[in-house]
Amino acid sequence: MKLTKKEKIIIICSLAVICLSLYTSSKKDSLIDGLANSQIFSKSYQESRKKRFEKEIDRKLTSDTLVKYIKKLSLQKLEIVNNLLNDEALVQVLNTKDKEDYSSAKYFSNDISYKEASSMYSASKGFRELSLLSENIKNYLDNSFPNFDYNSIVDNEGKVPKLITAKDKILKLTPNKELKSIITQLDKEQLDKLNSIVNNNGGMIEFLNLNDKFVTEVKENCHNLLTRGLPMESLEKLVSLSKRIDELSNLDERFKAFISQNFEGVDFKKIYLYGEFYLTDKNSNVELEKEYRKKIYTFNDPFIKLNPYGRTPLTALIKIEPTEANKKVKVLVRGQFDSENYSYTTTINELGEFPVVGLYPKCENKVKITLENGKEKDITITTGKLDDILPAIVIEKKIPSKMESGMNLVSFNTKEKALPFVFDINGNIRYVLDISSTMNKAYVGKESNEWIVANDKAVFTFDILGKILSTRDPEYYAENENWKNGVLFREIQYLPKLNNQLAVYGFSDKVYPSGVFSELGIDSKQELFKARLYFDKNSFEENNILSGRRIELF
């Protein structure tokens, strides 16, 4: 059908209108900005927007004073206020009649619901935004709401509502009335710590759901750990649980009493400390086994592992053929840095293993090993640098012919680390037992070839390679009568072979922070040996010697 001229004009006009509408819609924002910036329409457009914002603000707020201050703001700030007032919680607080009763103290108290806390947190964010727009508005808010510290609520970052949710969740997890009572009385800081302790941990959920079966199982696992050991999976779970229960006991005295009552005789701190040592050693043994399976090691081609358990950087484990088990082997570490050769004889164990000790740090150590049949092998063991926090040792005097044999054991502690070590008569450090990952203060003694490591929390024994052997009763550790403020004032050790005595001073800062080892001849009254150990830090809290002894290293 043919269109008339009139119809064609109508169709063309319609299409033009549609295209113009689509273009206008897509360019709406830029067109509005253009109108706003044009000299003709700018003033009227801005006045129109301002009136619209003012009308909205008038409708939402009841305080004439606050509205007056708001209306003095620029158009851009009015728009910000208008957007802020879309928050119902903020509007409700601003319009409340009992402004003085509106208190941030309630937000941080235990007497607040999740809904109230969430509303107050939301309103506080709005208060802070408003206070930044003008000094008049800030003063109005501060004067009208004198008890409402909205900044402290905002700085809390909404933790209170989250803690209330966590608290409700934890309360639902425990049917135990005593636990419920303790939890409901915790303050916000304690609740925060409790939440991090529980934190969806399966063991802690079982603890909250306390029953006789769980208590019995935990006690049996603790006993087995201290006597015959545990499978790896059980050990990992017990260590994690024990650490969290110990944290819980330190959170509140009521938790501590509850735990002592329900787990009588269990020292959870001791369990997790020992467990962490033991867990690390089990993993180390697994890695050693992997190495052993790679090839057959012999005396002529031995396996050498420096610092096998991660605690003794100046020792090495040697593995040869197991057919040499139970035989004697002589180990000689060749002297360096003015020190003479050091040698000892030990027994090869059932796996064909034996230790090399007394190495020098940060160098190539030349070692000779000799079997019972006279067969010899020279090996080289390269060691790394020691921790910089260890003291620098200066030998001020020595008369070797008149001195008791052996090396010097130092129970050295810093604020963060327990780093006992041994040095020879030339000031060379020859052994370090790094237990700082688990203990930050410790006294160290020696019984046969075992180290006794103790503090007021736990007592452990280690072999010469730093492998955990056992735990002992805390009664082994007692405050030394020579300690003052937790630091060794002076300790005297009688050295019977030559009728000498060793005096050890834990800390002095008269000239430079240091400790002293001094050997004296009892008969001659002569000082035979003096070593000064210079510390890095100026105070005894940051570095000191808790004990010092003359010992045979191995």
pLDDT greater than 70 at residue 349: yes
Return the SS3 of 499.
coil
Cα–Cα separations (whole angstroms), residue 218 to 213, 227, 233, 262, 272: 9, 14, 14, 11, 12
* Burial status of residue 1 (CB atoms within 10 A of its CB: 0-12, 13-18, 19 or more): exposed
Return the SS3 of 166.
helix
DSSP conformation class of 73: S
| pLDDT per residue as tens digits for the range 93-139 | 999 988 887 888 888 887 888 888 889 999 999 999 999 999 999 99
Distance separating alpha carbons of residues 263 and 257, to the nearest angstrom = 10
Q: What is the average pLDDT across 310-320?
A: 97
Distance separating alpha carbons of residues 458 and 271, to the nearest angstrom = 9
pLDDT greater than 90 at residue 41: no
Return the SS3 of 5.
helix
| pLDDT per residue as tens digits for the range 472-496 | 766 655 555 555 555 567 889 999 9
Give me the amino acid identity at 441: K
Cα–Cα separations (whole angstroms), residue 488 to 22, 451, 455, 495: 88, 20, 14, 19
Sheet holding 429-432, edge to edge: 429-432, 421-423, 407-414, 543-551
| Mean residue pLDDT across the chain | 89
| pLDDT per residue as tens digits for the range 381-419 | 999 999 999 999 999 999 999 999 999 999 999 988 899
DSSP string, 317-381: EEE--GGGTT-EEEEEEPP-TTPPPEEEEEE--TTSEEEE--PPSSSEEEEEEEETTS-EEEEEE
* Burial status of residue 201 (CB atoms within 10 A of its CB: 0-12, 13-18, 19 or more): middle
Q: What is the average pLDDT across 498-520?
A: 94
Q: Please report the pLDDT score of residue 438 as a whole number.
A: 79
pLDDT bracket for residue 467 (50, 70, 90): very high
Q: CB count, 10 Å around CB of 314?
A: 25
Q: CB count, 10 Å around CB of 261?
A: 9
Distance separating alpha carbons of residues 502 and 519, to the nearest angstrom = 4
Q: Please report the pLDDT score of residue 477 as a whole number.
A: 54
> What is the percentage of the chain residues whose pLDDT exceeds 90?
67
Q: Which of 19-28, 181-190, 525-534 has the highest mean pLDDT?
A: 525-534
Angle at 48 between CA 44 and CA 54, to 5 degrees: 140
* Burial status of residue 346 (CB atoms within 10 A of its CB: 0-12, 13-18, 19 or more): middle
Distance separating alpha carbons of residues 302 and 348, to the nearest angstrom = 13
Q: Structure tokens of 417?
A: 């680390």
Q: What is the average pLDDT across 455-468?
A: 88
Q: Do strands 342-347 and 376-382 pair parallel, antiparallel, or not at all (unpaired)? A: unpaired
Q: Please report the pLDDT score of residue 163 as a whole number.
A: 87
Which value, in Å, is the radius of gyration of the alpha carbons in the chain?
38
Distance separating alpha carbons of residues 78 and 432, to the nearest angstrom = 69
Q: Structure tokens of 160?
A: 């209170």
Nearest to 94 by CA among 119, 57, 122, 123: 123
pLDDT bracket for residue 372 (50, 70, 90): very high
Higher pLDDT, 309 or 109: 309
Distance separating alpha carbons of residues 422 and 342, to the nearest angstrom = 14
Q: Which residues make Cβ contacts (< 8 Å) with residue 332, sequence separation at least 6?
A: 341, 342, 343, 367, 368, 369, 370
Give me the amino acid identity at 395: I
| pLDDT per residue as tens digits for the range 46-77 | 888 888 999 999 999 999 999 999 999 999 99
CB 332 within 8 A of CB 355: no
Return the SS3 of 448.
coil
Q: Please report the pLDDT score of residue 18 as a whole number.
A: 73
Q: Please report the pLDDT score of residue 49 as a whole number.
A: 87
Q: What is the average pLDDT across 141-163?
A: 91
| pLDDT per residue as tens digits for the range 239-280 | 999 999 999 999 999 999 999 999 999 999 889 988 989 889
